[in-house]
Amino acid sequence: MVLVLYVDDMLIVCKDKLKINELKDELSKAFEVKDLGPARQILGMEIWPDRQNGTLSLSQKRFVEKLIYKFGMSKAKAVKTPFAELKAAMTGYYRKFIKGYEKLVNP
């Protein structure tokens, strides 16, 4: 069993549904719990369970798309240039990008 908990978001992953229900019952004795059914997303990540293979895939595609829009990169074109060469070619832009990144990761 895996229990993912962040502030007021919780995800329980287990092959045994009985164990999941037992845990939910115990948690609801101490906390107000709202069961939203099978998880489709958590913390901005999309979830794709593959029960047949016993795997769980996560995607942050929507999160990345929001960041791209927020930082005005929605019309940017992908380039195959190695980043070091791109940095040298776009020094002013690079500095602006780093400042934006710093704001993103250190609000």
- 84 and 56 in one domain? no
Q: Does 36 lie in the same domain as 7?
A: yes
Claim to verify: residue 55 and residue 81 sit in the same structural domain: no
Does a structural domain hold residue 18?
Answer: yes
pLDDT digit of tens for each residue in the chain (107 aa)?
A: 999 999 989 999 898 999 999 999 999 999 999 999 999 999 889 999 888 888 889 999 988 888 889 988 888 887 676 666 666 666 666 677 777 777 777 76
Specify which residues 12 forms β-bridges with: 3
Tell me whether residue 85 is in a domain: yes
45 shares a domain with 13:
yes
Q: Are residues 12 and 56 in the same domain?
A: yes
How many structural domains is the chain composed of? Answer: 2
Q: Which pLDDT belongs to residue 11? A: 93
- Whether 20 and 47 share a structural domain: yes
Residues 23 and 3 sit within 8 Å (Cβ to Cβ)? yes
Query: Is residue 12 within 8 Å of residue 24, measured between CB atoms?
Result: yes
**Structural domain that includes position 87:** 77-107
- If you search the block for the tokens 């895996």, which residue do you land on? 2
